[in-house]
Amino acid sequence: MGKIYERAGAVLLVCLLLFCGCGKEKEAEKLWPSVTAADTPESPKELYEKALKEDVLIVYTVSTRTTKTKESFEKAYPGLSVEIRDLRSPNLIEAVEENAAMGLTSCDVVICNDNSGDFKARLVDTGLVVPYLPADIAPHMKENSEDVVTFLNEAEILLYNSAKYDSCPVTNLWALEEPEYAGRIYMPNPLRSFSTYAFCGAVWQNDEALSEAYRHYTGTELSIPEGKTASQLFWERVSKNMVFTNSSDEVAEALQNGDADLGIAVSSKLRLKDVGYQMEAAYRMDPFCGCRTSFAVMLAKDSENINTARLFIRYLLGEADGRGEGILPFCTEGTWSARDDIPDANPVPLSETDLIIPDQERLIKERESLEAFWTRLLMERNPGNRTDTNL
């Protein structure tokens, strides 16, 4: 009988421990989101004191410029360490999802471009990342969102080889189908690049503007076959002249070495002009020169280094006065400030460009048809080659 009571007691003890553990988990679920509130009262000094008791901060990012922010952050806050994990957008999203599925807290801060709809649909809407926007910074954000903290605006834009041309040789997008540009236009594969995918999707959403631009360019109406749209026809024609790359870096290289006359790439690559690259952006174009893209900084849910994470985000956003060094690596040509008290780094204001803004909800809704179209088109342009569709 004694053994029976011992076993029963052991079972009861295990049940109590499990019950208490579940209670703690449920309590954490209630408490954790509250520490991300915008009105959290801790000052940078108070956050720093608490952060010194935490571990290494893990940042998942799609931008190599974050490394410079890490370096100055560690100098500004001695004793804190940051580990940067540089990932492509699709891989970053998958990594955060896998961490959550396995119950891991392997990430504290996420920096990702918020263009294609994937970031919103898979991480923001599911609560795997949450916003943290300090109350003393929020009033200075140009587009303060409850769901996403945008800290930088860029563009997927038409670039040209400035060593060959004094100005952009085309003023209408339909000119890209002219025979003289065959093999001379470089663009990232839209099924590998979120920014390029967003641009292709934005074009997809502007059929009427494309038809009107065609009238301006040719003086005739665009003849659209039954079952097609103006944007589908545009990409089918223009893609014949295109060379598809894996990234915007390869587009910049092609412009620099003279292989490309024109390219479609992220505007932040214009910072390479500082090291001798000869390329410029075409900011005015009929009907548009590209699409606006943005970068978001978010907290990974259940971060174990929450105070360091919040301190790092404050630093990246430029601190309360907008003079913090954390934002400086991102203030380069080809970028526009997300704050009203930090001037644009780009010489041409967004208001003076012909950039369009993609409809994210529509991108999400039309993903299947857009991906199917580009899969077919890329296979036609590269018969026998595998088309990577890992968006």
Amino acid symbol at 25: E
pLDDT tens digit sequence for 195-206:
999 999 999 999
Token representation of residue 9: 């007691």
CATH 2.120.10.30 fits 154-293+350-381, yes or no: no
For residue 35, the model assigns a pLDDT of 47
Domain limits of the chain? 35-152+295-337, 154-293+350-381
Mean of all residue pLDDT scores within the chain: 88
| Contacts with 103 (C-beta within 8 Å, 6 or more apart), sequence order | none
Residue 28 backbone class (left: φ over 0; alpha: ψ -120 to 50; beta: rest): alpha
Cα–Cα distances in angstroms (integers) from residue 157 to residues 142, 173, 191, 192, 259, in the given order: 22, 12, 17, 17, 18
pLDDT tens digit sequence for 224-275:
999 999 999 999 999 999 999 999 999 999 999 999 999 999 999 999 999 9
- Rg of the chain's alpha carbons, rounded to an integer? 24
pLDDT tens digit sequence for 379-390:
998 764 444 544
> At residue 40, does pLDDT exceed 70?
no
Q: Which residue has the higher pLDDT, 9 or 56?
A: 56
| Contacts with 262 (C-beta within 8 Å, 6 or more apart), sequence order | 158, 159, 160, 161, 168, 169, 170, 176, 181, 184, 185, 186
pLDDT tens digit sequence for 70-114:
999 999 999 999 999 999 888 999 999 999 999 988 999 999 987
Minimum mean pLDDT range among 274-283, 311-320, 376-385: 376-385
For residue 175, the model assigns a pLDDT of 98
- In 46-149, the DSSP E strands lie at 57-61, 82-86, 109-113, 129-130
CATH fold for domain 35-152+295-337? D-Maltodextrin-Binding Protein; domain 2 (3.40.190)
- Percent of the chain topping pLDDT 70: 87
Token representation of residue 293: 């893209």
Residue 221 backbone class (left: φ over 0; alpha: ψ -120 to 50; beta: rest): beta
Minimum mean pLDDT range among 178-187, 312-321, 362-371: 362-371
Helix, strand and coil percent figures for the chain, each rounded to 5: 45, 15, 40
Distance CA 98, CA 60 (A): 13
On the question of a common fold for 35-152+295-337 and 154-293+350-381, the answer reads: yes
Minimum mean pLDDT range among 38-47, 169-178, 375-384: 38-47
Segment 17-24 mean pLDDT: 38
Residues 156/267, Cβ–Cβ less than 8 Å: yes
Following DSSP, what letter does each residue of 343-357 receive, concatenated? Answer: --SSSS-GGGS-EE-
Beta pairing, strands 290-300 & 150-161: antiparallel
DSSP letter at 65 equals T
pLDDT band at 30 (very low <50, low <70, confident <90, very high): very low
82: helix, coil or strand? strand
For residue 118, the model assigns a pLDDT of 87
For residue 302, the model assigns a pLDDT of 87
